[in-house]
Structure 1
Amino acid sequence: MDRIQDLHLFRTVVRAGSLTSAGNHLGLSPAAMSGRLKALEAHYGVSLLKRSTRSMNLTPEGRLLFENSDRVIEEFDTLEATLRSGGSDLRGSITLTCPSDLGRQHVAGMVDEFLAENPEIQMRMFLTDNVLDIVETGCDVAIRYGNLPDSALTTRRLGPNRRLICCAPAYAERHGMPATPHDLAQYNCLALLRSDRIMDEWEFIKDGETMTIRIQGDRMSSDGFALRHMAMEGVGLVRKSLWDVAGDLKSGRLLSVLDDYTRSPFGFHLLTDHRTMMPRRIRLFIDFAVRYFKRLSGELAAYV
């Protein structure tokens, strides 16, 4: 900060033509002005002004500094104003991660609406069904399914959710529908692949009793969007969050099975590592996302 102030002083001296005139403008004595100027020259290790009792001229190094001083001071003032206001001009980027199917069906459209209102912001979206560490990967915001472990991350609930087991009507006609989770051993079940494991253990709860069933099938994918489309093609059963399949259930492209065992709530949250000093663009996006999904939640009421 002192260096910027000294640069401002140097620019004032050059424009005023003398230390005395510049000092009168800045409210500083000639001795104070001279001391500040000498400190600036000592910092850069060069002479900036040739001074005599009658004249003052710029050295080549002084001219270089003076010619660039306007730009440097203006850029610093702009940066400082932006930081002090929490990014009130709403410029910059936001990095977001979310599940692939949710991203394609809902988040991409939400981002379109947000950017239409805030055209100076850029969004970077990582659509993946792997759970990224948002601190290590530098993500500003994560949208996640599931019940969250305790952490230092700030969370906002986005809406109701549960997991369902679904299949295409054609698959149900050919194979019938399972009556209990134990019947899944007789069905082709589509498993999600994550970087660290296969999600082949499906949990069910009924009357307070939890059971875990290890499923089997001939297809796995790291992309939940692909698994849903396999199920719609009549390949097998898939486990999906309600937000991913509500449209397919409503249209009849998919049927839900084992509903008595899949009534338990399943989290749907937005997470951020920003707590204090949150940039305004990120705070604005978070509030927008909460309102957006609240608006859509009414369409899911029949399935919750």
Structure 2
Amino acid sequence: MNDSPDIRFLLAIRASGSLAAAARKLGLSPSAVTQRLQQLERKLDTRLVDRTARRLQFTEEGALLCQRGAEIVQQFDALFEDLQARRKGLVGSLKINAPLGFGRRYLAPVIADFQKENPGVDIALTLSDQPLTETADRYDIVVHIGELPASNLVGYAIAPNARFVCASPALLKRFPHPESPEELAGLPCIVLRENNEDVSLWQFRKGRVTCSVRVPSKLSCNDGEVIRLWACEGRGVILRSEWDVADDIAKGNLVRLLPAWKARDADVIALTHHRAGLPARTRHFMRYLQDRFKPQPPWRS
């Protein structure tokens, strides 16, 4: 193997999940794909893919070739895109995945402005309630809020973001203000289902003291906008990101509870597959995104 077409061919098979799907993606017949794969395996004297009528499984050698080969192809493309960008600006496509509410309110305007300033870049934004559960290979950048589970992805800090316990003035007329996190167990609470977390276990810290409380929840949703509206209507207490509730707190629609107790921060980060060899359009968008949230993010302005 002395060039990138063979690597790209193998990566297309991995991304497609089957030889038939790869044939459609590559515009070839299934037999042509099979023959080319066999030729590649003979060239390397190594079996790369175990295929049966029901499933397609990469061997260890095939998986290694895809992993290392993807890095090589990305660096190769980045080199030529950098050369092209020097002559006529940023070009190519950028696929971004982001959380529903944050993506809708804060990320969509940034993306539209960036594309307007760089008309040679095509951007596809996908909003999801669980960005990290999507197939990572499908996206160039994944925007994530909160703690990052173990991952091979590379993180870039975008903006600070705390989390507040909030309730409406109407709810607080029916229930007393809690003086400690433990008292939340006696209040109606609303939880946000996201990222496969234990969403009804709320954790707090005050100085060196930590506290965890299991809150009761009759209402839950996977959309943060819904639970924020429910909280404003007086239906329960929420633990929600600062970016989402700062306006309502300022307007008096919500009241922050337990200000002396700090919940875990949920900073905004952007994730990519590699630190080196990123295309120019990805690097420039990352810097553009970071600059848009400096020196303070809009929810702290």
C-alpha separation in 2, matches of 1:147 and 1:81: 31
Q: Does 1:85 align with 2:84?
A: no
What letter matches 1:271 in structure 2? L
Task: Give the C-alpha shift of residue 150 in structure 1.
Answer: 5.5
Deviations 1:180-238 (A, max 9, x none): 11111221111112374551111111121222111112111011121112111221111
What letter matches 1:94 in structure 2? L
Alignment correspondent of 1:12: none
What letter matches 1:161 in structure 2? N
Q: Does 1:190 align with 2:186?
A: no
Change (3 A) 1:92 1:233: farther
Alignment correspondent of 1:282: 282
Identify unmatched segments of 5+ residues in structure 1: 3-79
C-alpha separation in 1, matches of 2:299 and 2:220: 30
The question of whether the paired residues in 1 share the 8 Å contact of 2:154 and 2:275 is answered with: yes
Task: Give the C-alpha shift of residue 291 in structure 1.
Answer: 0.3
Identify unmatched segments of 5+ residues in structure 2: 3-75
- The 5-angstrom pairing of residues 26-45 of structure 1 reads none
Alignment correspondent of 1:147: 147
Deviates most, 87-96 or 251-260: 87-96
The question of whether the paired residues in 1 share the 8 Å contact of 2:164 and 2:241 is answered with: yes
Task: Give the C-alpha shift of residue 295 in structure 1.
Answer: 4.4
Alignment correspondent of 1:221: 221
* Secondary structure in 2 matching 1:85: helix
- The 5-angstrom pairing of residues 262-273 of structure 1 reads 262=262, 265-273=265-273
The question of whether the paired residues in 1 share the 8 Å contact of 2:103 and 2:127 is answered with: yes
The question of whether the paired residues in 1 share the 8 Å contact of 2:146 and 2:267 is answered with: yes
TM-score, normalisation: structure 2: 0.66
The question of whether the paired residues in 1 share the 8 Å contact of 2:178 and 2:184 is answered with: yes
- The 5-angstrom pairing of residues 44-63 of structure 1 reads none
What letter matches 2:101 in structure 1? D
* Secondary structure in 2 matching 1:116: helix
C-alpha separation in 2, matches of 1:212 and 1:160: 23
Alignment correspondent of 1:100: 100
Change (3 A) 1:154 1:81: closer
Deviates most, 80-89 or 212-221: 80-89
The question of whether the paired residues in 2 share the 8 Å contact of 1:134 and 1:142 is answered with: no
Deviates most, 146-155 or 107-116: 146-155
What letter matches 1:205 in structure 2? R
Deviates most, 154-163 or 132-141: 132-141
C-alpha separation in 1, matches of 2:121 and 2:157: 24
C-alpha separation in 1, matches of 2:133 and 2:196: 13
Alignment correspondent of 2:119: 119
Deviates most, 240-249 or 167-176: 167-176
The percent of aligned pairs where both chains have the same amino acid is 29
C-alpha separation in 1, matches of 2:81 and 2:124: 23
Deviations 1:113-148 (A, max 9, x none): 212212232322222232425663422112222233
C-alpha separation in 2, matches of 1:197 and 1:267: 16
The question of whether the paired residues in 2 share the 8 Å contact of 1:185 and 1:216 is answered with: yes
The question of whether the paired residues in 1 share the 8 Å contact of 2:91 and 2:121 is answered with: yes
C-alpha separation in 1, matches of 2:254 and 2:188: 15
* Secondary structure in 2 matching 1:126: strand
What letter matches 2:81 in structure 1? S
What letter matches 1:84 in structure 2? F
The question of whether the paired residues in 1 share the 8 Å contact of 2:78 and 2:277 is answered with: no
C-alpha separation in 2, matches of 1:166 and 1:232: 9
C-alpha separation in 1, matches of 2:277 and 2:135: 16
The question of whether the paired residues in 2 share the 8 Å contact of 1:134 and 1:273 is answered with: no
Alignment correspondent of 1:242: 242
Q: Highest Rg: 1 or 2?
A: 1
What letter matches 1:85 in structure 2? E
Change (3 A) 1:226 1:198: farther
Aligned length: 224
Change (3 A) 1:298 1:112: closer
C-alpha separation in 1, matches of 2:96 and 2:291: 17
* Secondary structure in 1 matching 2:174: helix
Task: Give the C-alpha shift of residue 151 in structure 1.
Answer: 4.2
* Secondary structure in 1 matching 2:159: coil
Alignment correspondent of 1:71: none
The question of whether the paired residues in 2 share the 8 Å contact of 1:192 and 1:198 is answered with: no
